[in-house]
Homo-oligomer: A and B are copies of this chain.
C-alpha cells in the first residue's frame, strides 16, 4: 500500500473509534471534520519515509506513530482556530470546526484527538512493547511542555517573546517528532534523526510564510495575508521572496545532509528534495525558474 493510503487508513480507523455506539454523534462528527478531508499529511509522510529508510519491521507501529503525529497536528489546528485564539472562519477551504459545531465541541474534539494519539500508539505497540515508552515520550515532548506545540502557541499569550523564534520551535517540534518517531517505530535510536526534522520544519515554516505573503486566497487552503495584517513575523516579508526561496532550499539541503547512515538514506534524500520543490508555491517556482 502506498504511504498516503496507509496514513488515511490509520487515521480513519482512529476516528472510527469515536463512531462506536455510545459516543455522542456530534463529537464524532467534529473529530472527523478535524481530520478529514486531508491536508498535505506532510508530517506522517515524513514519519513513514524515515521508518522505511531505517528498514521498517513493524509497519502497524509506524502507521500508528504517523497517525498519532497527524492527530496531534489536527488537534492543534482545531484549538488554534478557536474564537479565543485566531477566530478563523475557514481551514483547508471549509468552515472551521468551531464554525461547524460550535466552540464547546471544537474544544472537546481537540481534547479527544490528543488522547486518541496516545491510545493508538499503545494499541499498535502490542507487537513491540519495548518501543512504546520511547514513542510516547517522543510524541509527548513534541506537543507538550516545555517546548512542544502547546508551549509554542502559549508564547502568543506572553508580552515579551521572540515570536519568530517560537514559531520556528512550534513548527519544528512536530517535524522533529515525525523523524524521531519514524526511526523509533522501526526499532532505531531516534535522536540522531532530530536535526533532519527540525531543518525540515524550518523549511516548511518558510514555505508557509511564502504562501501567506504571496498566496492566492481562492486556491490557498487557509486565509492568506494574515501575517502582514496581524503584524506577525514572516520570513518572506522580512528577507524578500527570492531570498526566502533560496533559504528554503538551503534548509532542505541541510536536512538531507543530516540524514544518519542507514540503508535507505539515498531514497530518503530524493524524497526530501522532491518535497522541498513541492513546498515552493507553484507561481513562485515558475517565476524563479
Query: Residues on A close to B: CB < 8 A?
Result: 17-28, 31, 75, 79, 82-85, 101-105, 107-108, 110-112, 114-116, 118-119, 121-123, 125-126, 129-130, 132-134, 136-137, 140-141, 143-148, 150-151, 153-158, 161
- B136 A27 Cβ-Cβ under 8 A: no
Task: Classify the secondary structure of A's interface with B.
Answer: helix
Q: Which of B129, B151, B155 touches A132 (beta carbons < 8 Å)?
A: B129
- A136 B122 Cβ-Cβ under 8 A: yes
* In the bound complex, CA of A230 to CA of B21 (Å): 28
One complex includes copies of this chain to the number of 2
A107 in contact with B82 given A114-B114, A154-B26 (CB within 8 Å): yes
What residue in chain B is nearest A118 (Cβ atoms)?
B118
- B104 A145 Cβ-Cβ under 8 A: no
What residue in chain B is nearest A144 (Cβ atoms)?
B115
* In the bound complex, CA of A147 to CA of B119 (Å): 14
4 smallest A-B Cβ distances: which pairs?
A: A23-B146, A115-B144, A122-B136, A27-B154
- A17 B146 Cβ-Cβ under 8 A: yes
Residue with the highest number of chain B CB atoms closer than 10 Å, among A85, A102, A105, A107: A107
Write out the residue numbers on chain B whose beta carbons fall within 8 Å of the beta carbon of A155. Answer: 24
Residue with the highest number of chain B CB atoms closer than 10 Å, among A121, A136, A148, A156: A136
* In the bound complex, CA of A146 to CA of B24 (Å): 8
What residue in chain B is nearest A137 (Cβ atoms)?
B122
Write out the residue numbers on chain B whose beta carbons fall within 8 Å of the beta carbon of A136. Answer: 118-119, 121-122, 132, 136
Q: Which of B18, B112, B157 touches A26 (beta carbons < 8 Å)?
A: B157
Q: Which of B23, B147, B150, B161 touches A145 (beta carbons < 8 Å)?
A: B23
Give me 18 other A-B pairs in contact (C-beta within 8 A), A22-B151, A79-B107, A125-B133 excluded.
A18-B145, A22-B147, A23-B146, A23-B147, A25-B158, A27-B145, A28-B146, A75-B111, A79-B111, A111-B143, A112-B148, A112-B150, A115-B140, A115-B143, A116-B140, A119-B136, A121-B136, A132-B136
